[in-house]
Amino acid sequence: MTLDLSLFSTMASASASFVAIIGGLIASKLITINGERESVETHILELDELIEMKSKEEASIGQELDEDDALDYITDHIDDIVKKTSLADVYEADKPQRLEFNTLEEYWNIAIGLYEKFQKANTNGCEVNDDDIPTELATEFAEDDFMYSLCEKFAKMESGAAWILTKSLSVTAAHTDWYNGKRKEQNAILRELDVLRLQKEQAVRKKDALVKPPHMKLGLIIFAGIIVFCILIPLLFMKLISHYPNIQNCAETTCLIFATIGLLSTIFYMGSLLQWKHNKTDKK
């Protein structure tokens, strides 16, 4: 008696097609998600570079403004610098100040130390430049605007009466324009940094959302199930029926049930991939 095993081979072949379809969908989804993830990671790196660059630029401008504010404060309290008075005895916390105490204290102590060096250089008869600054100090602080400006203040103070006029006119219109321009520039950079950090936060959230793709686990389960129940088992039945022909009807029924479940599962999975997530804005 010849056994008709075509049903089993047909089921195995059809199931193999289902496996190819599901495998293709999963692979396509993974490739798409991987591409999106790499794109987001690249964008995050670019944002990090921009944030770092803008932060350095803002810090540089902030330092310029801090040094200028400190210089103005020290100029107004130059007598206390000469007397080596502690800033704690001079700083009026109850009045509006451009600099916080801790920030200003650092510049204050630097000014006291610099004045000691200035006095020592003058005492030793050191030559002075056109700004009446000892040449050794002028050379040392040639690239440091804050320190050189302090030396200029000390030199003018040592000149006597001329210091009173210089002190009262220390803030010129041009200087005010420069200061206000720098402050506006700093504020503009801070706004840019806020935008860049927000963009990075959004990009990081997007990256995190791409870590675990939706329905991917379900697809793998269906993929494995079809391989086992719709390909391997029919092939196993083909082998068994050749030895036990009486189980053919039961085997065919079982394989038809598995094939039906596999087909419906494939259709369900493909439908789930085509579903769109509805945002709250879609309901408005």
What is the per-residue pLDDT across 129-139, written as a single tens digit (0 to 9) for each?
Answer: 888 888 999 99
CB 150 within 8 A of CB 113: no
Q: How confident is the model at residue 161 (pLDDT cuts 50, 70, 90)?
A: very low
50 phi and psi, to 5 degrees?
A: -65, -45
pLDDT in tens, 45-102: 999 999 999 999 999 999 999 999 999 899 888 889 989 999 999 988 777 888 999 9
Instruction: Read off the tokens for 69.
Output: 């504010």
pLDDT in tens, 177-186: 999 999 999 9
d(CA 6, CA 234): 11
Nearest 5°: CA angle at 56, between 55 and 58?
Answer: 65
Q: How confident is the model at residue 280 (pLDDT cuts 50, 70, 90)?
A: very low
Can you name the residues that pair with 128 across neighbouring β-strands? Answer: 134
In this prediction the pTM is 0.66
